[in-house]
Amino acid sequence: MAKRALVKRGTTSKLATRDAFMVHLQKAKKELVLAVLVPQVVALYSFATTAERYARAHNLSEESLGFAHQLKIETLGRLGELMEQEPKATGARGQLAGRESSGGAKMTHQKPAIKTLEEQGITKSVAKLARKLAALRPTELTAVAVRDKTLAAVQRQKTATTRAKRQVLPDAKYRVIYADTPGSDDSHDCFPPTRMPGCGI
């Protein structure tokens, strides 16, 4: 009886943990819809990554793990979109500020107003992944987010589709037609026409 009660208590505790976990994820997803700044999305991505690790470490349900993964992919996709919209960061610019005691020009360096990715807490690998996800169509991004397909599989499919389109000749009418010049097989050697023997002039 005591063992059964202990198992029941453990199950109830796990369900409560899962429910609280899902509530936090759903709240984060609503915040993502309203996020318009890179720092906001970076914070949500950090939360989603931590949530995914937590779900895996504590053996939460597949639903909980899948929801955390979906939030992570969606935040990365949104991050990639915002990164493309932001102006690129440039280095510090020098500005003349009088002269040194030696007579040379004195320069002061102003810190650039636009922060770099590193300053915004975005690593190169995260930025690269975010850009790849942002380049996907909504249906493709959803497929990766819900774990129906991997990003690599989607990209392979896109590459194969692009190659197939290039190989198929378009069904259309054209105003210019390229053709061999009339005459003998070696007449192309005489184009434009000259007075060389065998060129018909």
Say if residue 128's pLDDT is above 90.
Answer: yes
Assessment of whether the complete model's pTM goes beyond 0.75: no
- At position 175, the amino acid (one-letter code) is R
For the chain, domain boundaries: 2-87+116-135
pLDDT digits over 133-178, tens only? 999 999 999 999 999 999 999 999 989 988 887 766 566 676 666 6
What single string gives the DSSP state of each residue in 11-79? HHHHHHHHHHHHHHHHHHHHHHHH--SHHHHHHHHHHHHHHHHHHHHTT--HHHHHHHHHHHHHHHHHH
**Rounded average pLDDT over 44-55:** 95
pLDDT band at 17 (very low <50, low <70, confident <90, very high): confident
Which has the closest alpha carbon to 98: 88, 90, 108, 89? 108
pLDDT digits (tens, 9 = 90+) for 62-113: 999 999 999 999 999 999 999 998 877 665 555 545 555 565 656 565 555 6
The whole-number pLDDT of residue 88 equals 72
Mean pLDDT of the chain: 79
Q: Decide if pLDDT at 5 tops 60.
A: no
